[in-house]
Structure 1
């Protein structure tokens, strides 16, 4: 008698959405936390069958740009990753600009990894950064510790936590990062323009919400883009715009790729749907850097996405406590939006509203961020051998309610509150285990894990 293989640990049923196609009435079979088989039709035997037939099964989303610890330090990791689990985001790539110290050396990196392993609800990859001056000697050790990418800034939000790196220091850093093969992402705003225009606005008494946009005009962003790409061209680094609010950012990246350098840029989801009218409506809840642009610019952003010029789509999730977003003086409000829990519903909705294929979400919100941060083939795909990370979306007519956010109470606010959505997250699976059931986070702090960069 031939021995039959044991049943799979779990089989997940539904319409499988990859970056290439939608497999109707499909199944994903899981063994030991990884995808062991994919198919359509009658599923194989399994210990547990998760029946999501009629729903969309995406790869777990990979958010390539978010901040768990910029407002509350490493204690924010637990709660931000809870929100990720509820949003179908199974891997986050966390920025290094933490309170009280940014992640600038291997010791700080290791300490943050320990907190991730103890408190995270989803898997976490990490950026590294450098000190304002004199810290480039730590770049190699950060890469060896498993950093997914590096992040620097042309604009100073805080001299210690989020410093501006001057051009000479940036050139030194880029050259050393180039030796590691890792990508360096840049916050792309010109310091001189922002400081000068903000001072003039304050002097004139104009501190109303629209002045956030007026003091950070497109020129501010484009000047920074050209600077970072020129330094990248000179040093051989892979330079990446961390958030382009302008289609021109992607055009510039394409131009510099034509010169033979590695140049790329990402679009945060807010720049695909929010306009200047929204910051007037939302006030501090709509403040982010770079700011929202015009409705015409949103259309140009979509053109670049559909034409393949955008690296990936992220959230730039920054869970400021609500009291940091309520000042009537827009310049006193914290800059950043919550977005992890709304990411998947909003992306499905935006694609549906524009009649675009849902495969774009699997590509730009899972596979491509995983590729850019060196997490393939472990993350970002529904593929045999990959981690069994899945985001299940139920289609219908829903309304996003900020009260449903599972972060700390003071972070339960959203710029998308009250927005009509075409889908909701019905279930999330991390390495084959269900961690969200549409209403509750099912796993515990520490069930998430640190993910080293897999490939260069």
Structure 2
């Protein structure tokens, strides 16, 4: 007899199976099938709904604004969005995850406060940080993150080319991938200074001062260094389809090169930034409607590694200034992730399997998260149940701190909502309510090859 059954339409990266079930035993998936289900102590009848693997968001910032206290609220809102594993960036305040000691302390906070499972990025200091890479990898980081653009000289620095070459060389030895924030600093700074000097601080200038060229310049330099060093180099967020064709070109040269798309680049345009102002400011910025279509072509051509949110929950007061350059860059996106991706697929008449593949399986494989991202026997019983229907996304429903209850998707029509979320077989979100406690989630280290 199994511990539990979840009944409904089971969606994997390869199939959509109506009248199916997922059987759970000891927090793992014990059986997946159709027809008459086996016996179980508890049955969750979700007939009429779709059962997906729990989403794996490969790009989350829990601590850029609040530091490690942000882990609890961020992972709570993740569960509400169908996300059962967050891959957290290293650029926390007041200190980034730059050595094994900081990593151990952050892991302890994750294990004490998280509602869902969490994997962790590591990074390096601007100077004299390369020596810490091996210990960070041994400590379980799933990826490294470096930047070609400096947001903070200590917390989020630009890494110069000689240091990047040394870092990539050392990272290549660990077998762990390295993601790069890909914007050319000199170009962006010059265009931004010119805009300010001329008094052009309206929202659209955020796009004009961070043009496509700022991304593609950075893309080419990081992949060249990757080809030279043998590191697996990954674009942390491409707003351009061209970023993925650049990665493909370097793969043809023998490099290990990849890139991810954030969900906003599959649906938001420059017009949305004009409408939203600072609420829609993120880096890289929204592009044109034509670019959104090219992004979907890249996804359907399997050029995109996976889809993420780049969730960065700044307090509302930092997003609502009249001067677009004075607003913080980053979007709230975790609680809308499952409903929005499902809605985009429905609207484009595409298979829901695309979400299982690019929002669960692929990010789990990229970050080496064993047992995550699939509905398959032996995997963790991490599940997201989507109830189809017509709903409006309301930012007031976000289950995070009051100052973080805002969303660029507020008022958007959704074709489904997250009815239930299971983490390792435990029901942690159901019917609009959090059922988990801080500490339900745990740190997930990268699986190391032996």
- Answer whether TM exceeds 0.5 for this pair: yes
1:393 aligns with 2:386: yes
Residue 381 of structure 1 is aligned with which of 351, 374, 381? 374
Deviations 1:64-109 (A, max 9, x none): 0010000000000000000001011000000000000000000000
Separation in structure 2 between the aligned mates of residue 215 and residue 169 of structure 1, nearest angstrom: 27
1:298 aligns with 2:310: no
Residue 448 of structure 1 aligns to a residue whose secondary structure is coil
Matched residue, 1:333: 327
Matched residue, 1:211: 205
1:431 aligns with 2:424: yes
Residue 196 of structure 1 is aligned with which of 190, 203, 207? 190
Residue 47 of structure 2 aligns to a residue whose secondary structure is strand
Residue 396 of structure 2 aligns to a residue whose secondary structure is helix
Separation in structure 1 between the aligned mates of residue 175 and residue 394 of structure 2, nearest angstrom: 42
Deviations 1:155-209 (A, max 9, x none): 0011111100000000000000000001000000000011111111010011110
| Deviation of the 1:133 alpha carbon | 1.1
Matched residue, 1:232: 226
Residue 342 of structure 1 aligns to a residue whose secondary structure is helix
Deviations 1:325-367 (A, max 9, x none): 0110001101000000000100000011111111000000000
| Deviation of the 1:43 alpha carbon | 1.1
Give the TM-score normalised by structure 2: 0.99
Matched residue, 1:121: 115
Residue 411 of structure 1 is aligned with which of 404, 416, 420? 404
Deviations 1:198-243 (A, max 9, x none): 1110100111100100000000000000000000000000000000
1:76 aligns with 2:86: no
| Deviation of the 1:438 alpha carbon | 2.5
Separation in structure 1 between the aligned mates of residue 144 and residue 20 of structure 2, nearest angstrom: 38
Matched residue, 2:40: 46
Matched residue, 2:442: 449
Quick check: 1:18–1:359 contact (8 Å CA) kept in 2? Answer: yes
Residue 58 of structure 1 aligns to a residue whose secondary structure is strand
Matched residue, 2:313: 319
Quick check: 1:59–1:380 contact (8 Å CA) kept in 2? Answer: yes
Separation in structure 2 between the aligned mates of residue 454 and residue 84 of structure 1, nearest angstrom: 23
Residue 301 of structure 2 is aligned with which of 295, 299, 307? 307
Separation in structure 2 between the aligned mates of residue 436 and residue 177 of structure 1, nearest angstrom: 37
Deviations 1:252-293 (A, max 9, x none): 000000001100000000000000001100000000000000
Runs of 4+ in 1 over 4 A off after TM superposition: none
Q: Please give the residue correspondences for 1:7-22 in structure 2 after superposition, counting only pairs within 5 Å.
A: 7-22=1-16
Residue 68 of structure 2 aligns to a residue whose secondary structure is helix
Separation in structure 1 between the aligned mates of residue 310 and residue 348 of structure 2, nearest angstrom: 23
Residue 37 of structure 2 aligns to a residue whose secondary structure is coil
Separation in structure 1 between the aligned mates of residue 173 and residue 65 of structure 2, nearest angstrom: 32
Separation in structure 2 between the aligned mates of residue 437 and residue 383 of structure 1, nearest angstrom: 23
Separation in structure 1 between the aligned mates of residue 19 and residue 333 of structure 2, nearest angstrom: 30
What is the Cα-based RMSD across aligned positions, in Å? 0.6
How many residue pairs were aligned?
449
Quick check: 1:151–1:186 contact (8 Å CA) kept in 2? Answer: yes
Give the TM-score normalised by structure 1: 0.98
Matched residue, 1:402: 395
Structure 2 gap segments, 5+ residues each: none
Matched residue, 1:134: 128
Matched residue, 1:91: 85
